[in-house]
Chains A and B, each alone.
Chain A
């Protein structure tokens, strides 16, 4: 059904994805001492370090304002980190030139809380836009090119995979939240990343829809070997889907381990003494 994912590991556009990662085969991403100071002086990250094993499903938890979104955006340099080192596939992200950054970003997908679709365009265009990275070398960023026929077929295929093949020609703002998030996942499918950054992908969805969206992320992770880093607010989801957990508080890492290691005490440490766990199914 999905020839889309026939290869377990997708290659870099320059074709040498893992040639240099033999020493740390199992680590896809390494953060060491990552810092971020926003122009207004806010110190959002104060030296965060951890490793992300290839193929893992890493959940990032922490209170609002603890720096989760900032950290994700620093990884693919949507926000420039101001200190520390980020190594993706053995390559130092912070040293990349603008052009190389475009190339590396093609291997890092991203899903957002508010879906961030192009609202006034149809779903198919939104899904296809996951491939824009591959057009970036063309004159004018490929904006005057027509989408190749095979890509359109793949996009239809991706929409089928996330269960909304009939919505291809509907404008994106005509979809429900859950459907929009599935379009965003289809966009990522088109991009075929090795790493997926998901910033609270289910925070604005109802519990049932949340679970189905999480299922798609799990599918990506387990069937297609995409490493997932996912900001989550609900520990029940963390326990159900994540293989690894990192917790942030005030821009610092306060916990790293397995979901089942989060004890009552850790929970209080991460979320504060007053916190009580809420369930979501």
Chain B
């Protein structure tokens, strides 16, 4: 498990890194074994063999394998015991590879910014990690394979006619819902799609393939009326204002917390270092929970509605803003801070006079961007009862009112695009 001395790293850390490399190597081989057994063997090879065994003209060799293993893709399960055993076997191999100190694990553990001075060393390092490279590619390949199997990628389905037809109908209905251009757009689209359908039918007839001719699209487009727009727009405004409230009230809280979340302002005493840790912990925890989960929590707590949505967005905005604000603080020029500290000013005065002037502009940019994000999120938040246009959207979608869904989507797009445009312009102007 020794990592040779020509691999550069901080010497005091070498021991720890060797151990972490060893452990990573064990885990990596456990993973390789598990994926190979569960995905490659169980999900790919065995069903393939089984296919030969239950074919119209079964093959004897396949049948014997399947019966020997007592495998049936419909019932058999990959047991926890099997998984444990496979993993253990892989881990055992990992110990073997780990002891050489040449595998993927030690390579990951040895990564550092340190440069090699001696050109001969860089060649030795290249050779040293040849196993690690192969292992890395193996892990990547197995992971892609697993992802492929788990997401059930079936490219064939993308060109199936039934699916394409439903897709076409949906697109026509959504297009019909668009404000102003809805009717002509959907009529135009229908014309194009019908052209494609006729073409397909003609080709099928020509090559004499069996089956009926595909029906033409025939959608009756009834656009949303004015009262529907009234309702939708008022819901949309609810979302925009909800986002504004969430941002507006998050700013002062984040402003204060950011000073405690910045490393360079919290070095001087135990109390401030503690505050730093607490603030960091708080923002990491709250940020890692999606606003949509917060919306669920708040709507259970105070009831479904825009207030719950606003609170959810606010909690999330506070922690995101604190993170961005305090990074801005950490990037300020320390000079004025030193100068004011030297006059005997208190920490608060130093923060106010030396730090704040340097961060107002970045703060403004972050805040406008946050509002922009919040407007986008506010439409989503509505899906789980956080008020606003999202609620309406999920309702119409549940009733399969696709024309209305098209209308709502267009409105949301319009607002999000406007906000995005404005916030980009403002940020550009103040930078």
Q: Which residues of A contact B (CB under 8 A)?
A: 73, 76, 78, 98, 101-106, 108-110, 112, 114-121, 125, 129-136, 140-143, 184, 187, 191, 197
Q: Return chain B residues, CB-CB under 8 Å to A112.
A: 335, 338-339
B352 touches A143 (CB 8 A): yes
B343 within 8 A of A: yes
A110 touches B342 (CB 8 A): yes
Give the contact-size bracket for chain B. 20 to 34
A135 to B343, CA, bound (A): 11
Q: Return chain B residues, CB-CB under 8 Å to A114.
A: 335
A273 to B343, CA, bound (A): 40
B335 touches A133 (CB 8 A): no
Within 8 A of A (CB), among B51-89: none
Say what secondary structure dominates the interface of chain B: helix
A78 touches B342 (CB 8 A): yes
Q: Which of B333, B343, B346, B358 contacts A191 (CB 8 A)?
A: B343
> How distant is B106 from chain A, measured CB to nearest CB, in Å?
27
Candidate in A98, A108, A115, A132 with the most chain B CB atoms within 10 angstroms:
A132
A132 touches B349 (CB 8 A): yes
A132 touches B340 (CB 8 A): yes
A141 touches B344 (CB 8 A): no
B353 within 8 A of A: yes
Q: Which of B335, B343, B345, B358 contacts A109 (CB 8 A)?
A: B343
Q: Return chain B residues, CB-CB under 8 Å to A115.
A: 335
B339 touches A117 (CB 8 A): yes
Q: Return chain B residues, CB-CB under 8 Å to A105.
A: 341-344
> How distant is B431 from chain A, measured CB to nearest CB, in Å?
14
Q: Return chain A residues, CB-CB under 8 Å to B353.
A: 118, 121, 125, 129, 132, 143
A116 touches B339 (CB 8 A): yes
Within 8 A of A (CB), among B319-352: 333, 335-336, 338-350, 352
B358 touches A120 (CB 8 A): yes
B340 touches A129 (CB 8 A): yes
A141 to B351, CA, bound (A): 10
B176 within 8 A of A: no
Q: Which residue of chain B is the closest to A72 with respect to CB atoms?
A: B342
- Can you sample 10 A-B contacts with CB below 8 Å? A112-B335, A117-B339, A119-B357, A129-B340, A131-B343, A132-B350, A134-B344, A141-B347, A142-B349, A191-B343
Q: Return chain B residues, CB-CB under 8 Å to A102.
A: 344-346
Q: Return chain B residues, CB-CB under 8 Å to A133.
A: 343-345
